[in-house]
Amino acid sequence: MTGPPYPIPLEPLPGFWMVLGQGVSLEEACEDHLVLTYGVGKRTRLTYRMTSLSDLLMELCSGISLARLATQHEALDVCGQIALRELLGALNQRRLLALAWPDTEHPALRISTAAGWPDCQRRHLPGDVCIQLSALAAVHRIDDEMVLDYPPRGLRLGLLDPLITGWLLSFCSPGLLADHIGEAVACGRSESDVRCLIEMLVAWGILAPTPANRDDDREILALWECHALHFYTESHSGYNWGQLGTVPGASTRRPSPPLNRPRPSLARISLPVPQTNVDSGILAALSERRSVRYFAADRPVPLAVLSTFFQATVAIQGTDSIEFPGTGEGQSMDIAYGPSPSAGACHALEIHLCVGGGQVLPPGIYHYDAIAHQLCKIATAEVSDALRQGAAGSMGHHQPPPLAIVITAHFERVFWKYRGIAMANVLRDVGALYQTLYLGAQALGLRGCAIGNVDVAAFERINGMPFWREGAVGMFAFGYPAPSTGEC
């Protein structure tokens, strides 16, 4: 089992322990591997090359303090360090690891991540700093356990001790660090463990100094509303905690609802026979449009066709500026017009083209500048392959589409203007854009398929900025249709 170098905490944080996640167990097997059991009967071999590594991994069963893990990691040679980080990273990527605080026998908190451990560097805080719980943290119950979720970092804190839960919730009102530490010490916790916990919660953003530092990231995150953030992360791969995709009737014994909802008690007005003599390419394209999931592998899309497709479907056609009177100096907004409607003319969706082998453009990911009508390469062929492979999986097969568009939202543009409906408007824009892409492709002899899921964390790594500044919101696979599938 190998994985990308997922960040793992190797800092000697007092009070923090690394443990196997809930329902995960590790057994020693013969030769050079351990057997990991998790989920509903899932088993995986964990292959190691050094006995010292297997001993260290077995310690995860009862928990290993981060202080000891850091020391043991330092004591390994470079190959051992890489192997350990790879193994822990692979476990972490499958969400099989957690941090326990402040001990493993009766932990008060079990901290897990849906995305990869954020920065675990301690930053000293003076005792007179005032801190408060982030407005983006949400406490809710899952089965019998209360949890605190903080989606910007993909963190979930299992709240296992009522006293510490109450103490954590007391951060709802701003209070001095020294006072908070004193209260936790009065609950029987060690001062150094509590200080370290608070410093980490501040580093991760779950607790924030008040008034907040006015750095750019915090200001943009402050534009998000709690409901939008939780909805966004829970409905995309990468930061979500539950199941995604088709789970027919999972939560009910009821049959699937009918397609039509007749209203038998109401009078009906029969509509005239629709006109068939309207000469319109759009009407024809609307009636012929279908999703196509298999594409010709040996028919590259010429650059001129790609250019026409982008010009027709996503290029900005004009710009303007609107003023917001009475909102203070400089409160104006640049807006745009294009082939798809966009709520508030925000046009906050960005287009990224994933190109596979055998196309005119070299494989990789390209950002499309919708104003200049130009492309620039932002990522390698391997990354493009991974995203196109994900699209193939969503289309129910293994053959990646030759081309795919990843749609991201520049959230700040929409959230700057709207409250409450901002995320809904982003997704409405995506829906409108999907149809424009379908029709544009149809008109050019291309075919495509909207994709219902995209890995937010994967695109975040490509884009080099947190999802809450610019995050993936959709995908569209396209190319020339495969001649044999009979899909169109």
- Contact residues for ligand FMN, defined by CB under 6 A: 290-291, 293, 394-396, 434, 449-452
Give the shortest CB-451-to-ligand FMN separation in angstroms: 4
- Would you say 102 and 53 are in contact if contact means Cβ atoms under 8 Å apart? no
How far lies 393's CA from each of 86, 94, 365, 438, in Å?
Answer: 25, 18, 19, 20
| Residue showing the smallest CB distance to ligand FMN in the complex | 452
Q: Which is nearer to ligand FMN, 57 or 437 (CB)?
A: 437
435: left (phi over 0), alpha (psi -120 to 50) or beta: alpha
Nearer to ligand FMN, 441 or 450 (CB): 450
**Residue number, 204 or 476, with CB nearest to ligand FMN:** 476
Q: Are strands 364-369 and 403-410 parallel, antiparallel or unpaired?
A: unpaired
Give yes or no for a contact between 339 and 391, defined as CB atoms under 8 angstroms apart.
Answer: no
Q: Which residue has the tokens 């590790």?
A: 26
Spatial distance between the Cα atoms of 484 and 293, rounded to a whole number of angstroms: 12
Host H or E run for residue 75: helix 66-75
- Of 451 and 482, CB closest to ligand FMN: 451
Judged by CB, which is closer to ligand FMN: 16, or 232?
232
We find the least distance from the C-beta atom of residue 452 to ligand FMN, in angstroms, to be 3
Cβ nearer to ligand FMN, comparing 293 with 469: 293
Judge contact between 244 and 454, C-beta under 8 A: no
- Please report where in the chains the tokens 């000697």 appear, as a residue: 12
Nearest approach in angstroms of CB 465 to ligand FMN is 25
Residue with Cβ nearer ligand FMN (91 or 387): 387
Residue 348 CB contacts under 8 Å (≥ 6 apart), including other chains: 342, 409, 410, 411, 413, 414, 426, 429
Integer angstrom CA distances of residue 199 from 74, 150, 209, 255: 24, 16, 11, 51
Name which of 52 and 291 has its Cβ closer to ligand FMN.
291
Minimum distance between the CB of residue 441 and ligand FMN, rounded to whole angstroms?
12
What is the distance between the alpha carbons of residues 214 and 220, in angstroms, rounded to a whole number? 10
Structure tokens at 363: 């494989």
Least spacing, CB of residue 442 vs ligand FMN, in Å: 11
Closer CB to ligand FMN, residue 364 or residue 400? 400
Shortest reach from residue 456's CB to ligand FMN, in Å: 15
Rounded least distance, CB 259 to ligand FMN, Å: 12
How far apart, in whole angstroms, are the C-alpha atoms of residue 297 and residue 306?
16
| CB 447 within 8 Å of CB 479 | yes
